[in-house]
A and B are shown apart, each in its own frame.
Chain A
Amino acid sequence: MEKRVTFSSTITGLLFVVPMLLLIFVFFYWPSAQALYWAFTLEQPWGGGNRWVGFDNFSQLLSDPVYWGAIGRSMMFGLSSTAIAMGLALILALLTDRELRGHKIYRSVFIWPYAIAAPALGLAFRFILAPEAGLLSIINQVWPGLWNPALDGKDAMIAVIVAFSWKYIGYNFIFFLSALQGIPRSLTEAAAMDGSGPMRRILDIQLPLVTPTLFFLLVINITESFQDSFGIVDIMTQGGPARATELMVYKIYFDGFKGLDYSGAAAQSIILMLLVIILTIFQFRFIERRVHYK
C-alpha cells in the first residue's frame, strides 16, 4: 500500500494559503474591482462622489475612431516588438550556446537592460535617436531628412519599438539560453557525428526542444508590450507626433493620471485587460498545440 501524507483538516490547508491569498487580494483583486466599479461610473478625482452611468464610458470609447487607432497601434507595437525582442534574443542565445569566445560575459551582461527603468531607458534612446543632436544625426548628414522621429510618425513608432525591444532582448536571452543548455549534449553531438551542420541541428533539434520556452516568452512578451510601454512613450514621444505613438496603455496613463479622468482610464484598463486575455486565450488554443513539453 502506498503511504501518503495528507492533511486531515481543510483548515490547516487554508491557513497556509491565506497569506498568499491576502497578498493577491490587496494587490490584484481589490484594485481590479475598484477599476471595474469606476469604469461604470463617473468618478470625481478628489473623491466628492460618483454617478452610475452604466456602459456609457465603454460606448463612448468604442465609438471613437481615435481610440480604435490606439488599439491598432498597440497591436502593431506588440507584434513587432515581440518579434524583434524574441528573434534577436534567440539568435544571441544560439550563438552563446555554441560557446563562442566571451560567452560567459554575454551571459551576465545581456540581462542588464531589463533592470533599467523605463524613463531612464527612454531618456537614453531619446538622445541616441534625436535627429539633430543625437548619435543617429549622422544619418541625416548623409541623407538629409531621412530620420526624424520628432516630425515623422513612422520614425517615432520605430524609435519606441527599438527602445522597448532592447529592454526585453536581455530578458528573453536568459530564458532561451537556459532552455538551450537544458538540451542534452549527446543529442546535438550525435547529430553532428551524423553529418548535420549547425543550421540543420538548430532547426531539427534545438528549436523543437525549446518550444515550451518559446511559447512562454511569446505570452509574456505580448502581455508586457501592452502594459509596460507607457514610460518609454511618455519620455520619448508623449504619444506624438500627431498621435502616431499613442498606445492604449499610454492613453490610460495620460487620461487617468494627468487628465484626472479616473473613470475613462478605468474603462480603458478593462478593455485592455480583455484584449490581453483574448490574445492569451488565442495563443493557448492555437499555438500551444504545437508545443511539445516532453
Chain B
Amino acid sequence: MQAKLLGALGALLATAFLAGPASAADKTKIDFWFGNSGDIAKRVQEQCDRFNQSQAEYEVICTSQGTYDASLQNTIAAFRANKQPTIAQVSDAGTLDIMLSGAYYPANKLMKDMGYDVDWKDYFSGISGYYATSKGEMYSFPFNSSTALLYWNKDAFAKIGKDHAPTTWQEAGEDLKKLKDAGYACPLGFDISNNEVWQFVEQFEAVNGEAMATKRNGFEGLDAELIYNKNPLLVSYIKDLKTWYDAKLAVIKNKAVGQTFIEAFAAGDCQMILTSVGDHGNIGRTAKPGMNWSVSMLPTYADAKRHSSFVGGASLWVLKGHSEPEYKAAAAFFNFIAKPEEALTWSTVTGYIPVRNSGFEYLKSQGFYDKAPYTGRELAIQSLTASPADDTAPKGMRLGGLLQVRTEIANGLQAIFINNADVQASLDSAADRGNQILRRFQQTYKNVQLP
C-alpha cells in the first residue's frame, strides 16, 4: 500500500517536472493574487495571458483566491510566513491596514526605480484620490474600479409616462408611488446586508457632499470620528426609505429571500436598483429578453449640489521581500495593463471603468460608449468626476476596520427596517459602535504615522 502511494507520488512529481517547458526556466516568474471569482476571475486570467505572450522575459502567475476577504487573509498569512506574492489585490476595506503595515513597495517609488515615467495625473482624481495618501502620493495601482449607479427599467417608467430616471430622491419617491399604482410589486429593490449598505450611506454622503467622518473622512488622522448620523439629509433620507419600505414601494431582495436585487432587476421584477457599474455587463447578459433598461447617476437629496461619488473596487499592491528582477517584472506588468488598448479590452469584457483619462479618451475615440451594450457606462466616469476641480471634499474614506464599521451600519439599518427601531437612535448607536472600532484600530496602530 505504502509502496503504491510512494510510486504514485513519484509519478506525479515526474510529470510536474516534465510538464514545465524548458524555456520557461529562464523567465522571471512572479505571483499575483486576486480576490475576484467567476467571470471576472477569467477576465483577469486573460489579461495575465496577454501580458505573458506580449514579451519573453517575465511570466506573471495569476491566482484567484475566491473573494476579496479570502485574498487578503491568504496574502497576510503568506506575508507572515515570508511566502508572499509579488503583487496582491487589496479592496477598499483593507486599504488602510496595508497602508499602515509597511509591508509594501510604494507604487510610485517602484515605477521610478524601475525606470518608468508614470503620469499620475492621468488617473481620474476621484480614483487616485481614494487610494492616494494625504499628500497625494500613490502607493498602489487602481485596478478594477467602479462606482454606484441607479439602474432603471425604461418600460416600467414609460408606463408612468416618464422617459428619464429621477435625479433627486424626492422625484424618486413620486416615481415609486406611481410605479406601485401602475401595478408593479417591487418599484425599488434593495438589500441592507453589510456588503450592500455602501451605496445607501457612503455614496449618499459623497454625492451630496457630506462627510462620513471627521478629519476629512479619516485622511488626516486615525483619530477621525464617524459623523454621518448627524447629517440631517441622511437621517431624513433613511426615514423616507423606511416609509417607502413600509408602503411596499421598496422591497428587500437578497439571497436569503431567494432572489438578489440584481437578479430581481434583470428578471424585470424590480424596477429600480442601486448597484455598481461593475454589474452592468452581468445585467446586460442576464436581463429578460426584450426588456429596456438604462442607468443614471445616483439621485441627490432635495436641492443639494451634486458632488463626485466614491470609487469602489480594489487596487494592486507590490509587497516587500522580493528580488530586483521580480520587481522589474511587476513594473512591466503594471506598464502593460496601463495601455489604453488594455483599458478598452478590460472595460469591454467587464463592467469596470477605465481608471485613466487616456484610457477613457481612447474608449471614446473607438466609439465604445456608442455601442448598445456599453451605453451608459460613461455615466460612471461622469459621476466620479462630478465635483468641480477646486472641490475640497475628500474623495474617499480612510477608516480602519471599515468592514466592521459597515456591519454596524448594516445592523443599525436592519434594526430600523425590520424591527421598527427609531431611525435617529439606531443611526446614533451604529455610529457609536463604529467609533469604538475606530478607537481600537487607532490603539493598534499607535506607533505608526498615517502617510
Do these two chains really belong together in a complex?
Answer: yes
How far is B195's CA from A238's CA once the two chains are assembled, in angstroms? 11
Q: Which of A75-83, A126-134, A202-210 contacts B (4 or more CB under 8 A)?
A: A126-134
A102-136, CB under 8 A of B: which get 1 and which 0?
A: 00000000000000000000000011001111100
Interface pair B80/A257, CB less than 8 Å apart: no
Which A residues between 4 and 31 are near B, CB-CB below 8 angstroms? none
Which of chain B's residues has its CB closest to A254's CB?
Answer: B407
A132 and chain B: residue at smallest CB distance: B258
Asked if B414 is at the interface of the complex by the 8 Å CB criterion, the answer is yes
Q: Are B440 and A261 in contact (CB under 8 A)?
A: yes
- Give chain A's interface secondary structure class: loop
- Which A residues lie within 8 Å of B80 (CB)? 46-47
**Chain B minimum-CB-distance residue to A133:** B258
Q: Chain B interface mostly helix, strand, loop or mixed?
A: helix
Binds A, one of B31-39, B44-52, B248-256: B248-256
Task: Verify B414–A240 contact, CB threshold 8 A.
Answer: yes
Residues A241 and B258 in contact in the complex (CB < 8 Å), given A46-B97, A264-B440:
no
Task: Say yes or no: A150 contacts B404, CB within 8 Å.
Answer: no
Contacts of B443 in A (CB 8 A): 42, 51, 53
A237 located at the interface, meaning its Cβ lies under 8 Å from any Cβ of chain B in the complex: yes
In whole angstroms, what is the CA distance A126 to B256 when docked? 6
B79 at the interface (CB under 8 A from A): yes
Asked if residues B418 and A241 are in contact (CB atoms below 8 Å), the reply is yes
Q: Is the CB of B257 within 8 A of A42?
A: no
Cα(A187)–Cα(B444), bound, Å? 66
Chain B residue numbers with a CB within 8 Å of A46 are 76, 79-80, 97-98, 101-103
Q: Are A257 and B256 in contact (CB under 8 A)?
A: no
Instruction: List residues 68-125 of chain B with CB under 8 A from any CB of chain A.
Output: 69, 72-73, 76, 79-80, 94, 97-98, 100-103
Asked if residues B257 and A48 are in contact (CB atoms below 8 Å), the reply is no
Give the number of residue pairs across the A-B interface with Cβ within 8 Å.
111
Whether the pair A238, B258 counts as a contact (CB closer than 8 A) is no
Q: Give bound CA distance, A47 to B75, whole Å.
A: 12
Whether a CB of chain A sits under 8 angstroms from the CB of B447 is: yes
A258 at interface, CB cutoff 8 A: yes
Contact of A132 with B257 in the complex, beta carbons under 8 Å: yes
Q: In chain B, residues 124-181, which have Cβ atoms closer than 8 Å to a Cβ of chain A?
A: none
CB of B194 within 8 Å of the partner chain: yes
Closest residue on chain A to residue B414 by CB atoms: A242
- Counting from the closest, the 8 A-B pairs by CB-CB distance are A133-B258, A130-B258, A46-B101, A150-B256, A242-B414, A132-B258, A42-B444, A259-B404
Q: Known A-B contacts: A237-B256, A259-B404. Give 6 more (CB < 8 A).
A: A47-B76, A130-B255, A132-B259, A133-B257, A134-B258, A243-B414
**Using a CB–CB distance below 8 Å, which chain A residues touch chain B?**
42-51, 53, 60, 66, 126-127, 130-134, 137, 148-153, 156, 236-238, 240-243, 254-255, 257-261, 263-264
A-B contact pairs, 28 of them (CB 8 A): A42-B440, A44-B444, A45-B97, A46-B76, A47-B80, A47-B101, A47-B103, A48-B100, A48-B101, A48-B103, A131-B258, A133-B257, A150-B254, A153-B418, A156-B256, A237-B256, A238-B194, A240-B411, A241-B418, A242-B411, A242-B414, A243-B414, A255-B404, A258-B403, A259-B401, A259-B403, A260-B76, A260-B401
